[in-house]
Structure 1
Amino acid sequence: MRHIKVGDLMTDEVVSVVPVTSFKEVAKLLAQYDISGLPVLDDEDRVVGVVSESDLLSRQAAGHPVPGDAPDTATRDMAELTAAEIMSVPAVTVRAEETAPDAARLMTRRGVERLPVVDDEDRLVGILTRRERDPHGMSVEP
């Protein structure tokens, strides 16, 4: 039996940001597109991280710094932070030729709700998500 491939389920219309995108702009994009996370891309469209709602919420939690923060980022105003300072790294990614069941297992194992889909040079080509409300990704259940 032929398994459905990630490339068959992903969407290629991906909302993304760059490392210097402000916290405020990231939050605005998440709300505007009703999505739960965004890939962060370098200047060659390579995925360098992912910013999720949980990344934003952990930063907003009553002045508690995120473990591993540099002291200067823990005390700065939230509006001054950038995607590079709040993103999860490394990004968990998948290739379009992987099977949907393999992608679903990866999502479960790594505890992520979205997988940026990358080509052989790690450039973003799409996104796969298991959140059904997310119009910028397809639903995949483990």
Structure 2
Amino acid sequence: MTQLTARDLMTPDVVSVPPETPVLAVARLLSERGISAVPVLGPAGEVLGVVTEADLIRRLAGQEDAKPGWFASLFVDPAAEAERFAKTHGVRAQDIMTETVLTVSEGDTAAHIAHLMEERNIRRVFVVTDGRLRGIVSRADLLRALVAPMPEEGEFSDGRLRSAVIAAMRKQPWADSFYTLVDVQEGVVTFHGFMRDEGVRRGLRVLAEAIPGVKGVKDETQPMPNYLFAGV
């Protein structure tokens, strides 16, 4: 089954700004366009950073930062304080932008991009080819992967579904693939064998239901005997 990639999901027409753009102009751009971030591009189209709503709010909040007292100033890192001052008082995009930007290639899958977003707790990634910005994939774009057209029915053979369920189980450390057997008939997945506990039972049901083409899930397993617990 073909997976959607960044090329399929990305928004290619990305609003961007040069590094010299005034901060107030960036704030106005985000407000008028109803967007939460804008990439900052160099002369060759390379991504230098991104100005987000958080960067703008940080700058606004920094105007009320209190000056450290004499004693506290003895322990201040001058370089860090200078950097913070630039972020909270800068007047150009390059002064306040977040320079650490996560990028992906056009061929990266929706699943991979979703994993990166979840792992880094970010809301968007930039799609880059040969160092140049090609598009942006946001969380909203990823939702399209969930409602993408399903493959033809012929791709959902029982053999393929069974292989997909087993492969998914082997990726989960909690799934007892050694003691739990999988059978698929007419798209319905049936678990046989032994099941460790109710948590694993629920997890396997969710795992199987998430595989495209599965029409139903049955559980015909038995509780795990005590003498087998030592081996799991």
Query: Structures share a fold, TM > 0.5?
Result: yes
In the aligned structure 2, how far is the partner of 1:60 from the partner of 1:33?
Answer: 20
1:70 corresponds to 2:79:
no
Change (3 A) 1:75 1:109: closer
Change (3 A) 1:113 1:68: farther
- Tell me how far 1:11 sits from its aligned partner: 1.0
- Tell me how far 1:70 sits from its aligned partner: 2.2
In the aligned structure 2, how far is the partner of 1:75 from the partner of 1:94?
Answer: 29
Q: In angstroms, what is the RMSD of aligned CA positions?
A: 2.4
TM-score calculated relative to the size of structure 2 = 0.51
In the aligned structure 2, how far is the partner of 1:74 from the partner of 1:126?
Answer: 26
- Contact 2:62–2:88 (CA under 8 A) maintained in structure 1: no
More displaced stretch, 67-76 vs 1-10: 67-76
Counterpart of 1:98? 108
1:83 corresponds to 2:96:
no
Q: Which structure has greater helix proportion?
A: 2
- Tell me how far 1:73 sits from its aligned partner: 2.5
Determine what percentage of the aligned residue pairs are the same residue.
Answer: 38
In the aligned structure 2, how far is the partner of 1:97 from the partner of 1:75?
Answer: 37
1:126 aligned residue (117, 127, 135): 135
Counterpart of 1:55? 55
Unpaired segments ≥5 residues, structure 2: 67-78, 147-232
- Tell me how far 1:114 sits from its aligned partner: 1.2
In the aligned structure 2, how far is the partner of 1:68 from the partner of 1:98?
Answer: 36
Counterpart of 1:18? 18
Counterpart of 2:119? 109
In the aligned structure 1, how far is the partner of 2:40 from the partner of 2:94?
Answer: 8
1:44-91 CA-partner distances (Å, limit 9, x unpaired): 0000111110111111115239x9452662674xxx511111111121
Unpaired segments ≥5 residues, structure 1: 133-137
1:6-55 CA-partner distances (Å, limit 9, x unpaired): 11010111001111111101101111110110111000000011111011
Change (3 A) 1:129 1:88: same
Residue aligned with 1:115, SS: strand
In the aligned structure 2, how far is the partner of 1:97 from the partner of 1:90?
Answer: 22
In the aligned structure 2, how far is the partner of 1:75 from the partner of 1:47?
Answer: 22
- Tell me how far 1:95 sits from its aligned partner: 1.1
* Greater relative contact order (CA < 8 Å, ≥ 6 in sequence): 1
Runs of 4+ residues deviating >3 angstroms: 139-142
Residue aligned with 2:43, SS: coil
In the aligned structure 2, how far is the partner of 1:107 from the partner of 1:47?
Answer: 18
- Contact 2:20–2:94 (CA under 8 A) maintained in structure 1: yes
Bigger Rg, structure 1 or 2 = 2
